[in-house]
Amino acid sequence: MKRIGVLVSGGGTNLQALIDAEKSGVLKSGKIVCVVSNKSGAYALERAKAAEIDAHVILKKDYATSAEFDRALRDCMQAAEVDVVVLAGFLSILGSDFIDAYRDRIVNIHPSLIPSFCGDGFYGLKVHEAALDYGVKVTGATVHLVNEITDGGRILMQKAVYINDDDTPETLQRRVMEEAEWKILPEAVEKLCAEI
């Protein structure tokens, strides 16, 4: 059983999808043992508490450099003996210290079909706004490994979602979460945990 650490910044809907997948048996080769947020008021912390998962807050502003912040994150994961790290709406770019400590064991979910609408500056509603502005008819979500290039790691899984003529960034975001993100993130994490 691999030990999973989840990094979050907001509401934690992807964290909830992982918690639910663990309860239902979709995620059976790993167990969430630690949740860390870089925002003190993140609702994801409440989700962790409700699921009786150890939760921590590590604020970037408490550290003089990004490298020190990364080390604090890494130290927290290592103290929990984490094998696999999942970025579930974590709005901070990880540095090489952290990435090296968990090379090929850090998973991220991105709300588009990479290589479209990804990289620096593409997160949250901005991704869906860009897809609608460009006029694409299909979008989706991608689960990938994390490396030093934003959204540049090896793709583990993708799922397409059709765009409706009346979609807004908000309706599209919700549908991509429901139809793609919440399904493929637990599946990809299970696959990675089983392979390690």
Residues labelled as active-site residues:
110
- pLDDT of 50 reads 97
| Average model confidence (pLDDT) across the chain | 96
Q: What token pair was written down for 6?
A: 């989840």
Q: What is the pLDDT of residues 58-81, one digit of tens each?
A: 999 999 999 999 999 999 999 999
The span from the CA of 15 to the CA of 48, in Å, is 8
The span from the CA of 151 to the CA of 117, in Å, is 10
- pLDDT of 54 reads 97
Average pLDDT over residues 107-131: 96
Helical residues (DSSP H) of the chain, grouped into ranges: 13-24, 43-50, 66-79, 96-101, 125-134, 169-176, 182-195
Q: What is the pLDDT of residues 7-24, one digit of tens each?
A: 999 999 999 999 999 999
Which of the four pLDDT bands, split at 50, 70 and 90, describes residue 178?
very high
Residue 74: other Cβ atoms inside 10 A: 20
- pLDDT of 120 reads 92
Output the furthest CA–CA distance in the chain (Å, rounded): 49
Q: What token pair was written down for 63?
A: 């550290």
The span from the CA of 24 to the CA of 171, in Å, is 27
Full-model pTM: 0.95
Q: What token pair was written down for 29?
A: 């080769």
On whether the CB atoms of residues 158 and 114 are closer than 8 A, the answer is yes
DSSP for 96-120? HHHHHHTTT-EEEEESS-TTSS-ST
- pLDDT of 44 reads 97
CATH superfamily, domain 2-195, is: Formyl transferase, N-terminal domain (3.40.50.170)
- pLDDT of 138 reads 98
The span from the CA of 189 to the CA of 131, in Å, is 26
Which of the four pLDDT bands, split at 50, 70 and 90, describes residue 47?
very high
Q: Which residues pair with 56 in a beta bridge?
A: 36
